[in-house]
Chains A and B, each alone.
Chain A
Amino acid sequence: MLKNVMLCGVGGQGILFAAKIIAAAAELSGYDVTTNELHGMAQRGGSVTAQVRFGDGFHSPLFREGEADVLCALEPVEGLRCAHWLKADGKAAVSAQRLIPVTVSTGRATYPADLDERLARSFKTLKYIDCCAIALKLGDLRLANTVMVGALSSWLDLPESSWRAAVERSVKSGMVENNMAALKAGQEA
């Protein structure tokens, strides 16, 4: 068994946090696991990606385009940009939160108006989630990423107890229960 998880979004959105929770859940389920992430220039509002691999039969921390089992996009345009990383039968969880790049605001590019249609065409299995609205309903906008991880978690076949332990390891003790609620909300979305 080998699972390749692709994460993408905009620098500053918390993609590293999402990768951390997924990797911890895999590790706590007894799998060998690797992650890879971009730092540096990429942090300042640019497109960023991270990869998580778990299971067996791999040496490299990187998989290639067309090899991801699941994709988690924290921004819809970034989801489209990374759609080709998915396997033909891969599954995607995409946040509906739109972040307008400066290239659009300054008139040098346009943000696609037909985003929903493009996402539907590009992903066979798609969870398109208003994670910010769900997070606000749970009382804290910062839970949006955990909602997205939750959406992904139903495809990763890891036990519930591992997700709880991963959350306990990754957030302050006072934040565990609302992160678990966010995870659950994402699973059900």
Chain B
Amino acid sequence: MKKLLSGNEALARGAWEAGVRAAFGYPGTPSTEILENLVKYDGPYCEWSPNEKVAMEAAAGAAIGGARSMVTMKLVGLNVAADPMMTLSYIGVVGGMVIVVADDPGMNSSQTEQDTRHYARLAKLPVLEPGSAVECREYMMKAFDISEKYRCPVIIRTTTCVSHSRFLCEVGERRESKDSAFEHNPSQFCPLPIWGRKLRRDVEERMVAQAAEACGSSLNQEFKRGTKLGIISSSVAALHCLDAFPEASVLKLGWAWPFPDELIRDFASRMDHVAVIEEGDPILEEHVKSLGIACDGKNVVPRCGELTPIVIQGVKARLEGTEAPVATPVADANDLPGRPPMLCAGCPHRGIFFGLTKYDVIVTGDIGCYSLGVFPPLSRTDTILCMGGGFTVAHGMVQAGEKRPVVGIVGDSTFFHSGMTGLLNMVYNQGKAILIVVDNRTTAMTGHQDHPGTGRTLMGKPTAEASIEKIAEACGVKRIRVVNPYDLKQVDDVLKESLAADEMTLIISRAPCILKERRQLGPKPSVDTAACKKCKACLKLGCPAIELSDAKAAPSVNANLCIGCGLCVQTCKFGAMK
């Protein structure tokens, strides 16, 4: 039977068919839908962990016990989870373990464009790169087998395009697999130096065997179509190349690390000319060159961004010495208004960011929907570093003598991810800033996943609801204020008194995400054009439901978008918004 599955759905399907017993992860575009789909199947235990490090360690525990496990995250999540992965490579697993990392070439929804293959090399773990949903399912099943054979986790690296493209996939049934049944073996699982040095040597031996197996693996596939040009590629870029170079042979490396040297040498020896066309960093290219094989690579292939079909056409033009095609919009599209993403109409974060526009403060932001507070007209974010960085960057600035007040913002899911350690640090080291948790009761940006504060698990069970205020109290925070972000006066009062205070304040701005709730908060206002003085105060909210297409006219409220949050009514001094 065939089903039209996205790459992420196919990864979930493959893991289920492979008999995965336990799966862990933290949401992050473009990886989120893997666990959201796996949890729909009977059999595997699935959870959202508070962060990727916790998820990696839990998956390690399951696999050390002998069960098949999986952990999923986006590229930057692996930075958080890198520590346990490095040691896990040494001590290894008993049950198969797959680490799925979704990279984001083109930075569609990520702060960096890092190439996870570097981590695979650093951790000395095999990395498989499916290019389609069909391959996502197949590679997932093979990854579990490879993992059990070599007793080490296997990384599957996808990209945004692979994770979010749908293909018709053959699907099968679930295979039986073992429960955790841990067997005591300290020389394997406790990397104290006496045993660790042996484990270290084992890793090198394992890689030699893996490279040999990769040479004959069906994961590495040659498309024989001619000998003038041979392209070495991987992932979805290889599929673009198959379409763009109908006469070139393509060596598509699905298992490129540890490098299958003999396979590469054999392919190159039969080609007049070799080009390595890979998305991301020149990892394959540098290795091919180290084998003494002359090739084109990043001299014709861009280092930054996604290798889309038009970019591949440009590569082809450079290889052939012809003019690269350019994607020029039509003439009538040259002066179109931009349409950046923004806080939704009625978003509870808006009240906080609007409140902050009245004060000369530095705002250190974080990763989530509230990143959108950086855009005009709110323009109320100065820095974005990483998950949890909203609190810690604020602390560092204050301790270094910054004269202006500093406000650090994190979300609720981010607070549990890594914001709470920053809060603890500020109390412990007596920092003084205003910290705000914009608590919308969900992980909103990635599509409303539960977290330790929502009282529900990924598997839909009711559970303990972690309290941000009680955690803050236990850390030693004295000033804690909970505000309703839809009450602009309350927001302003709390900001004013907190700025005047001589100690740190934690403000919890609490109201559920309206995109999740999908309900009207109050009556939809309309503009009384006779009373409107066209002062545009309401437009400073940056609400997409308040529209003004003619600068000389009065604004109007788009009733299809408005959910009646009432912020614009509060900003109008003339009573025209009612």
**Chain A residues packing against B (C-beta within 8 Å):** 10-12, 23-24, 27, 32-47, 58-67, 77-78, 80-81, 83-84, 99-112, 118-119, 121-122, 141
Contacts and interface: CB of A to CB of B under 8 A. Distances in A.
Given A35-B166, A36-B164, A45 B551 contact: no
Interface of B: 4, 29-30, 108-109, 132, 160-161, 164-168, 236, 239-240, 242-243, 308-310, 313, 325, 327-333, 335-344, 369, 372, 376-377, 445-447, 536, 539, 542-544, 546-549, 551, 555, 558, 560
A60 B108 contact: no
A40 B342 contact: no
Label chain B's interface by main secondary structure. Answer: loop
Nearest to A52: B166
B577 to A, nearest CB: 14
Contact of A39 (B109, B309, B333, B335): B109
Given A43-B341, A44-B372, A62-B309, A105 B332 contact: no
B339 A83 contact: no
A101 B338 contact: yes
Nearest to B328: A84
Contacts of A32: 168
Nearest to A106: B377
Instruction: Enumerate the 4 nearest inter-chain pairs by beta-carbon distance, A residue then B residue, closest first.
Output: A40-B109, A109-B337, A46-B341, A40-B29
A10 B336 CA distance: 14
Contacts of B560: 141
A118 B332 contact: yes
Contact of B446 (A40, A67, A121): A40
B309 A108 contact: no
Nearest to A10: B339
Contact of B242 (A59, A62, A77, A101): A59
A23 B133 CA distance: 15
Contacts of B446: 40
B549 A104 contact: yes
Given A64-B309, A83-B329, A104-B549, 16 more contacts: A33-B168, A39-B30, A41-B341, A44-B369, A44-B445, A46-B340, A61-B167, A62-B309, A64-B310, A80-B329, A102-B340, A102-B543, A103-B337, A103-B340, A104-B337, A107-B539
Contact of B338 (A38, A67, A99, A109): A109
A161 B335 CA distance: 42
Contacts of B558: 99-100
Contacts of B240: 59-60, 62
A145 to B, nearest CB: 13
A2 to B, nearest CB: 10
Given A58-B243, A104-B549, A106-B539, A27 B332 contact: no
A84 B165 contact: no
Contact of A60 (B236, B327, B333, B548): B236
A41 B109 contact: yes
A122 B330 contact: yes
29 contacts: A10-B339, A35-B4, A36-B164, A36-B166, A38-B160, A39-B29, A41-B108, A41-B445, A42-B109, A43-B341, A44-B341, A44-B369, A44-B372, A46-B339, A59-B239, A60-B243, A61-B236, A62-B236, A80-B329, A101-B544, A102-B340, A102-B342, A102-B542, A103-B337, A105-B555, A106-B376, A107-B536, A107-B539, A110-B337
B165 A61 contact: yes
B176 to A, nearest CB: 31
Contact of A59 (B243, B308, B343, B546): B243
B291 to A, nearest CB: 27
Contacts of B342: 44-46, 102
Nearest to A107: B551
Nearest to A34: B167
A107 B529 CA distance: 19
Contacts of A34: 132, 165-167
A83 to B, nearest CB: 4
A157 B317 CA distance: 34
Given A60-B309, A81-B329, A105-B547, A23 B4 contact: yes
A77 to B, nearest CB: 5
Nearest to B74: A40
A47 B333 CA distance: 14
Contacts of B544: 45, 101-102
A83 B332 contact: yes
Contact of B333 (A66, A83, A100): A83
A40 B164 CA distance: 11
A122 B327 CA distance: 15
A23 B4 CA distance: 8
Contacts of A141: 560
B372 A36 contact: no
Given A41-B341, A45-B344, A84-B329, A100 B547 contact: yes
Contacts of A62: 161, 165, 236, 240, 308-309
A81 B109 contact: no
A141 B559 CA distance: 13
Contacts of B335: 110, 112
A64 B326 CA distance: 11
A10 B343 CA distance: 14
A1 to B, nearest CB: 16
Nearest to B109: A40
Contact of B330 (A12, A40, A84): A84
A42 B328 CA distance: 22
B108 A40 contact: yes
A155 B171 CA distance: 32
Contact of B166 (A46, A61, A102): A61
Contacts of A63: 309
A103 B309 contact: no
Contacts of A100: 547-549, 558
A104 B556 CA distance: 13
A32 B560 CA distance: 37
A119 B333 CA distance: 10
A80 B336 contact: yes
